[in-house]
Chains A and B, each alone.
Chain A
Amino acid sequence: MDLKLDHHTRDGIEIVDVEGEIDVYTAPRLRELLIELVNNEYYQLVVNMEKVEFLDSTGLGVLVGGLKRVRAHDGSLDLVCTQERILKIFRITGLTKVFGIHDSVDEAIKARKSEK
């Protein structure tokens, strides 16, 4: 499998663990999962990208789409990413300003909780 997806609930927030490559071929599966989660009323999401080996603009589009969907329900979508080579594409497109990007799932949950 080029892309492995998993999710679990922690402190009322849904953590989505992504492993592998997110590109034009695999991104639709992530998109479907995010849509499914929102349909099931999970509006506070944290996408853990620490095991992502590749992310392209299709993947970015899916994440932006997910952010829009949860925001329509006053929700949130934060990212966990410390890998510079993955952060690079966020910087180039200016999306570092759009997403909350944290160093760990714990940090992401803490940041989200303190905002509420």
Chain B
Amino acid sequence: MADSLDVGEPAARVTLPALFVTFLTISMCGFGGPIVWARRFLVERRGWLDDQAFAEMLSLCQFLPGPNVVCITVCVGSKFRGPAGALTAAAGFILIPWTVGFALGSLFLHYTEIALMQNMMRGVSAVGAGLIIATGIRLLRPHRSRKAALLFAGAAFVGLAFASLPLLPLVLILVPLSIAGAYFERPIAG
């Protein structure tokens, strides 16, 4: 498998074809939350980023407009292969998956009333939700020794999940506090 060839510095093995194929795969797997698949391939399978770098890129992308994973695609491509990398990765993520998805979806649009479809979609979303939660827990691991990080991750979770606060004010309040917390804590190793 191509995975076993992944040794050495990421910069050397992140070629344009590898970018295209990896983001094509992430996109085609993208049921139940593309973040799950982006982390699985970029961190676990390919080893191009570690959990911390991935979480940082994701948080940058959440502050930019547009689909978060498309933003990650552009950032990873640009990081390793410049403008050509960004274009290649975005093309891999969008071209073929869009075509396949459009064909499938226009078929499905005729059958949205069918109960079987709705039941299957319910099963997929129950599993998808679990995958997203687990991915979040994985991303939190590099921060688990930082009290401030756990506090603000918990506050963001409670604010959105239980208090149902609107996203923008929640973020505008928590982010400056969390950055201040990180500024005043003792520097961590690594």
- The reply to whether chain A is a binding partner of chain B is no
A interface residues with partner B (beta carbon < 8 Å) = none
